[in-house]
Amino acid sequence: MSRARVARRIAAGAAYGGGGIGLLGVAAVGVLLTEVQMAKRHVGNGGSDEPPPRADGLYGLQYPGHDGPLRLTMLGDSTAAGQGVHRARQTPGALIASGLAAVAERPVDLRNVALPGAQSDDLERQVTRALMDADRVPDVCVIMIGANDVTHRMPPTRSVRHLSAAVRRLRTAGAEVVVGTCPDLGTIEPVQQPLRWLARRASRQLAAAQTIGAVEQGGRTVSLGDLLGPEFEANPRELFGPDNYHPSAEGYATAAMAVLPTVCAALGLWPAEEERPDASRREGFLPVARAAAEAASEAGTEVTAAVPAGPRGPWALLKRRRRRRLPATDPTPSPDTTQDQDQDQAPEQDTSGAAAPDPAANRAT
């Protein structure tokens, strides 16, 4: 069965009920569990239990901000939280916030409610926290989720159901939503065959189904699968953190470069001509399931809703945006003392800054 059909089946199951043990089957899951236990003996010995640095605060204070700061909220698991690095400026939230400030020429107020170890069923709690203050509804939310769903055997229909509900609540509240879909778990260095093949297949199937669920609720998605694929696999010492599981600072920068253009596009900060499909980059309008399947296999590919319905169901626009380079200059974020302190993550605030991208510098995917 093609990945597009599998993704559509998972998304349909999420919408209308159903589930079960998932796509791998009982026998495959047994093998998967055995290999997971073996991998755990090697993964996590580099201090991954250390809480991620807290990067909440204002970025881009050098800009006037006459209209007030843009509000960015990060939701999801340890990847969204930035686990595996030691400085706030190295987390994906800080990188995206400072990049957004540079493009918008406006301060950005970052809040991170992500929780290391979270699965998609924790998104309901995170969304509630993100929307707790009706006067501070985020302008844009970035969700990174899915890896723990695969490793904890959450049925993919249930996973997509929770993600879709989260996107729907955020969009109804008025926030734009960008989802970084499930990374390719087949690239984790200590993982051996057959787990590597099974993990890659399961994570890519989930990523495609997440895309359908998120796009149908008005969100946009960016594939993280291949960002944790060829680049991470080719440079494991550079792009993985000390525990060989969570990304390093360079790894998070790679992911942030891919997500930032979609965040900017969601807020209408990109020129109109860049929003049109570019045939030379193999961009175009596709049935949403086909677009989701293609995106799951290619790093940084964006999918967004286009036409509500067609002969083959809803259609989506698939774009392969240019990544934004992140120079080494570090503006200092100012902690926002008006935000409540998360009981789930309370590491000391790091005010050393975040890497700001150069809006004029592009690097093709």
**pLDDT tens string 168-194:** 999 999 999 999 999 887 766 555 666
C-alpha pair distances (Å), 193 with each of 28, 150, 188, 296 = 12, 16, 11, 21
The Cα–Cα gap between 167 and 214 comes to 6
What are the chain's domains? 57-276 (3.40.50.1110)
Query: Is residue 42 annotated as a catalytic residue, yes or no?
Result: no
Contact (Cβ atoms closer than 8 angstroms) between residue 221 and residue 181: yes
- Pick from 262, 17, 257, 265: which is nearest to 157 by CA? 17
Give the pLDDT of residue 358: 39
Query: Is residue 159 annotated as a catalytic residue, yes or no?
Result: no
Give the pLDDT of residue 23: 47
Contact (Cβ atoms closer than 8 angstroms) between residue 59 and residue 97: yes
Active-site residue, from 56, 77, 226, 243: 243
Active-site residue, from 48, 56, 149, 246: 246
Average pLDDT of adjacent 10-residue blocks, the chain of 365 residues: 56 49 47 52 49 91 86 95 87 94 94 94 97 94 92 88 97 97 75 70 89 94 72 50 64 89 94 80 88 86 81 80 58 51 40 38 34
Give the pLDDT of residue 221: 97
Active-site residue, from 48, 56, 77, 78: 78
Give the pLDDT of residue 7: 54
Give the pLDDT of residue 325: 59
Query: Is residue 246 annotated as a catalytic residue, yes or no?
Result: yes
Q: What is the pLDDT of residues 142-175, one digit of tens each?
A: 999 998 888 788 888 999 999 999 999 999 999 9
